[in-house]
Amino acid sequence: MNIKFCLFVLLVVNIHASLYVRSNAADFNDDLQFIKKHDTPIVLKATDSNASIIVSAKYQGRVLTSKASGNSNLSNGWLNYHAIEKGNPGVGGEDRFWLSPIGSQFSVFYPSGSTIEEKNWRVPSTLTTHPVKVVERDASSITFHKTYNVENNVGTKFVASLDRKIRIYSKNEIKKSLNTDISNDVDMVGFESFNTLKNQGDDWKASTGLIGIWSLGMFQGDDNATAIFPIAKSIKNTANTPTYLYPLTSDRYVQKGNTLYYKVDGKYRSKIGIKAAATKPIMGYFNAATNVLTIVTFTFEHGKLYPDAAEGVLKKPYMGDVINSYNHGAMDGSVLKNSSFFELESASQLKPLKHGEFIEHTHRTFHFSGDVKELNRLSVQLLGVTIDEITSVFR
């Protein structure tokens, strides 16, 4: 059995007992006030608008949520109010850092020497409950530092430091990053996490395991939400676009030309992957209910090693996915109340680092709302498909 679904086991524990219900159209100010009861949130603001993001040192330097410029206070990230209230891991957020791989004999998610199976899977506490240190901050950016001591399933020990800089973009920086002009009729917010993982211990060897940067963003699932993944033109082999967990039929996952469409309603446990041969470093989703177009970009290099998340002792553990998207649901496939979310994920390359060497990975998230014609133009330019094509694919 593939273990990718294990990412979210912690998120669903006792979720039905939550005293707080967060609506599908959550309000940014409501989220901020709730977080203040349990944390000391850090609000970063764009230099030329009222676009904002909420960042947390307590929750490992993650971006919890964001709001675009303009009058709307729509909160873009998915938050687990129950976990935040109870001090449990799995709080959600638009951009969090984890260590890859999640599966294989080189995973740090299985205790050393244990069999690689669901009952032994657990998240190292250093990734979920240990805060990071703030080393630098200004109005629109913040830098965190943390040292990780972890051990993989075959007993290889890693000492690695993370420098993680979160930065919210100005409107001009959004346009420059996406290489496009954007109308003033569109409200927008954009931010990035720039992650540097440095080997502070013994040299890393491919034969005994490598670790890498894994960026994960959680968003509100909706019946009207569809994720879009442009893929390389030459790719028609489904081995390069694997699916996981429960079966995916054409009412939830389809390829049309060079585009993959994935229904992200947060109601059916499933996951897709895109390997390096099929990867274009961009993905997104459109929610017709909120009229929000989201774009995610990231750094990517062909010809590198990437983490495989399959369960078991793998013969080829470095031919894994660059992109993943997870759609939440119960372990038996049923709908979970107040827990409809999905994820857009990107992974850095894996590299046998010598002591003092490092790898870097940048993960960028953009949200746009407003004039439908302008959103359509952005979608065509960035994702290669129209809004109508997106909204009609699963109609």
Domain ranges of the chain: 4-392
What token pair was written down for 72?
């709307």
- Nearest to residue 280, comparing CAs of 317, 235, 327? 235
- Measured at the CA of 281, the angle between CA 106 and CA 212, to 5 degrees, comes to 20
Distance between alpha carbon 63 and the CA centroid of its chain, in Å? Answer: 10
Residue 215 contacts by C-beta under 8 Å, 6 or more apart in sequence?
95, 96, 97, 193, 195, 298, 345, 346, 347, 361, 363
- Nearest to residue 166, comparing CAs of 10, 12, 43? 43
DSSP-assigned letter for residue 204: P
The predicted pLDDT at position 177 comes to 98
Q: Give the separation between CA 171 and CA 183, rounded to whole angstroms.
A: 10
Residue 17: exposure state from Cβ atoms within 10 A (0-12, 13-18, ≥19): exposed
Strands of 42-45's sheet in order across: 42-45, 52-56, 62-67
Q: Which residue has the tokens 């094509």?
A: 389
What token pair was written down for 250?
């054409």
Confidence (pTM): 0.93
The predicted pLDDT at position 239 comes to 86
Q: Provide φ and ψ at 82, rounded to 5°.
A: -65, -45
The predicted pLDDT at position 337 comes to 53
Beta-carbon count within 10 A of 199 CB: 22
The predicted pLDDT at position 332 comes to 58
Q: Give the separation between CA 88 and CA 148, rounded to whole angstroms.
A: 20
Q: Give the separation between CA 150 and CA 100, rounded to whole angstroms.
A: 12
* CATH code for the part of the protein at 4-392: 2.70.98.10
- Measured at the CA of 306, the angle between CA 176 and CA 259, to 5 degrees, comes to 55
The number of residues making up the chain comes to 395
Strand ranges, E, within the chain: 42-45, 52-56, 62-67, 96-100, 133-137, 141-151, 157-168, 186-199, 212-220, 225-230, 243-245, 253-256, 259-263, 270-275, 282-287, 292-298, 321-327, 341-347, 358-370
Q: Give the separation between CA 343 and CA 328, rounded to whole angstroms.
A: 8
Average pLDDT per 10 consecutive residues for the chain, totaling 395 residues: 41 36 80 97 97 98 97 96 91 97 93 92 91 97 98 98 98 97 94 98 98 97 97 82 91 96 95 95 97 98 90 91 92 59 98 98 98 96 98 94
Amino acid at 59: Y
Residue 375: exposure state from Cβ atoms within 10 A (0-12, 13-18, ≥19): buried
Q: Are strands 157-168 and 270-275 parallel, antiparallel or unpaired?
A: unpaired
